[in-house]
Amino acid sequence: MIPVLVTVVEADLPLRVRRREDLGVEPQVAVVLGDAPDGLPLILRVERRASVETAVRTALGHPTTLDPEVDRALGALETAVATSARGAGVFEIRGETRGPRLYRTAATVGVLLGESMLSRILGAQSPLILAEDRYAPSSRPERVTNTAVLAAVSRATGPVTLMKGLATKRHVAVPLRSGPAFLVEDEGNDPESLEPLRFEDLRPVPSARFHARGRREADGALGDLEAYRRAVFENPTIGWSVAASDVGQMIVQLARSLAAVHDEGRVHADVKPANTVITATGAVAIDPIGVTIGHVSPGATPGWAAPEQILAREVVPATDVYPLGLMAARLLGAAIYGEERSFLVPVGKGECRRVRLLSDQDVFVDPDGTPGLSRRVREGWQEFVRECVEFDPDDRPGSIGAFADRCEELLAEEPLGWRLPLPGGPGTLRRDVDVLGAMQPSWVVSDFR
């Protein structure tokens, strides 16, 4: 295993972290957002002041000196811009009483924090997306509106509301006093629009390790925070890795987290690595479409969504089993192959679109890519993944619990004896961050306005 290394940055001047309250009065400020997956502080650096001097000099032909009158006016304008920028992004929660003040980031949560840990390990793209199709608009891993639902709108529950929800862009909202950060919609000033921001945590994963390379190379458990901090201070690059068996357990935990959704009579309908967070208590699914069992889904993610979802047919719990099988295939480096069929799907106004789906699939797990697995267990994995990605949902494992149980059985029979690298993050790793009086390495994400 070759670790994916990131560079540890050290600037000319240390980054000084301030109190949360300063978000409301300073145009440029850095505050603690939470903990990064490795336990180091996660710092939000806010830049709300853009200099107008460059634009003025360009308009004047880039003079080396400015007319004194222009120079004075420019200084006053710079001051006015900085003053106006201090409150940008700060809003107040509406309610019966005066609510808390928060700072809403200009960047969406995906842009600000990047990919989830499971996406970094397994990849955001589905194993069904071939290399030549990877950059096609129809293969992007983001959720898209299912245009086929327009032809079946009478069978959906609240389709207009659901489809509006699919397009919602969410941002990070940071209270200007101590407390957890939230996710909030573009203009979500209602308390019900706030959702707690879940921070990922790799330290409880038994096999999670760091790999420091450079002056004083070191490898150790990611849970040993003191050794890890020392390695970051002493080396120019750092990387992480986890055992494949532990990633398999994450898939099991993810499956079990869906049981509560199914018990409520709903299907998540957007299970994928990007919608998984690894918490201190295990992997859990987030951002469900939340489709009632027996209805059609108003949205889907290409490559991850089950065929019945793409074709605007009724979704069932086995709809969520399909992407879990694809994640298991990613973990094993399995190839899913077979007959591909084209379907014409109505999109309304007498028009159709063409979609291609694998309708008669098989699975191959390469022995060279799964060192240490016996032929019997490897073939067991092949059959299990094949059942999970059956075209007909009735041919898949009958419940999410059945999927989790069988996956756990296979992991117990023989460990997956290889490790998987993943890049650190989110943001930039800096060793020169003054966190309220203590110099320590931190991950820094930046929000610009």
Check whether residue 442 and residue 394 sit in a common domain.
no
The reply to whether 404 falls in a domain is: yes
Whichever domain contains 151, its CATH number is 1.10.510.10
Phi, psi dihedrals of residue 26, rounded to the nearest 5° = -115, 135
Residue 350 lies in domain = 117-170+198-202+242-421
Range in 91-105, 200-214, 404-418 with the lowest mean pLDDT? 91-105
What is the Cα–Cα distance from 30 to 11, expressed in whole angstroms?
Answer: 15
Q: How confident is the model at residue 167 (pLDDT cuts 50, 70, 90)?
A: low
The reply to whether 130 falls in a domain is: yes
Cis preceding linkage at 421, omega within 30:
no
Check whether residue 336 and residue 392 sit in a common domain.
yes
- pLDDT for res 95: 61
Check whether residue 347 and residue 399 sit in a common domain.
yes
**Maximum mean pLDDT: which of 163-167, 319-323, 337-341:** 319-323
Q: Which residues contact 106 (CB under 8 A, 6 or more apart)?
A: 89, 171, 447, 448, 449
The reply to whether 211 falls in a domain is: no
Q: Is the pLDDT of residue 53 over 80?
A: no
Q: Which residues contact 51 (CB under 8 A, 6 or more apart)?
A: 78
> Residue 175: how many CB atoms within 10 A of its CB?
17
Q: How confident is the model at residue 319 (pLDDT cuts 50, 70, 90)?
A: very high
The reply to whether 42 falls in a domain is: yes
Check whether residue 339 and residue 402 sit in a common domain.
yes
Chain segment 421-437, per-residue pLDDT in tens: 998 889 999 999 999 88
Q: Is the pLDDT of residue 74 over 50?
A: yes
What single DSSP character describes residue 13? S
For the chain, how many structural domains are there in total? 2
Check whether residue 132 and residue 249 sit in a common domain.
yes
Q: Please report the beta strands in 2-40, taking only residues with DSSP state E, as ranges in sequence order.
A: 6-9, 15-17, 28-35
Check whether residue 64 and residue 163 sit in a common domain.
no
Query: Mean per-residue pLDDT for 27-33?
Result: 94
- pLDDT for res 99: 72
Q: Which residues contact 329 (CB under 8 A, 6 or more apart)?
A: 127, 336, 363, 385, 389
Check whether residue 34 and residue 155 sit in a common domain.
no
The reply to whether 1 falls in a domain is: no
Q: Is the pLDDT of residue 127 over 60?
A: yes
Whether 284 contacts 277, CB under 8 Å = yes
The proportion of the chain whose per-residue pLDDT surpasses 90, expressed as a percent, equals 64
Check whether residue 319 and residue 406 sit in a common domain.
yes
Q: Is the pLDDT of residue 394 over 90?
A: yes
Q: Is the pLDDT of residue 154 over 60?
A: no
Q: Helix 318-332 vs helix 244-257: angle between axes, to the nearest 10 degrees?
A: 170
Check whether residue 388 and residue 442 sit in a common domain.
no
Closest CA to 282 of 251, 239, 328, 258: 251
Check whether residue 88 and residue 123 sit in a common domain.
no
Choose between 2 and 245: higher pLDDT: 245
What is the Cα–Cα distance from 86 to 448, expressed in whole angstroms?
Answer: 13
Chain segment 261-296, per-residue pLDDT in tens: 999 999 999 999 999 999 999 999 999 999 999 999
The reply to whether 101 falls in a domain is: no
Whether 289 contacts 162, CB under 8 Å = yes
Closest CA to 303 of 258, 253, 355: 355
Query: Mean per-residue pLDDT for 107-124?
Result: 94
Strand partners, 363: 336
- pLDDT for res 143: 67
Q: Is the pLDDT of residue 153 over 60?
A: no
Check whether residue 411 and residue 300 sit in a common domain.
yes
**Residue 179 vs residues 197, 436, 447: alpha-carbon distances, Å:** 11, 16, 20
Q: Is the pLDDT of residue 346 over 80?
A: no
Closest CA to 416 of 346, 349, 333, 359: 333
Range in 44-48, 164-168, 430-434 with the lowest mean pLDDT? 164-168
- pLDDT for res 148: 52
Chain segment 212-237, per-residue pLDDT in tens: 999 899 999 999 999 999 999 999 99
Check whether residue 13 and residue 133 sit in a common domain.
no
The reply to whether 300 falls in a domain is: yes
The reply to whether 357 falls in a domain is: yes
Phi, psi dihedrals of residue 293, rounded to the nearest 5° = -55, 130
Token readout for 228 is 């890890």
- pLDDT for res 156: 44
What is the Cα–Cα distance from 151 to 415, expressed in whole angstroms?
Answer: 47
- pLDDT for res 163: 41
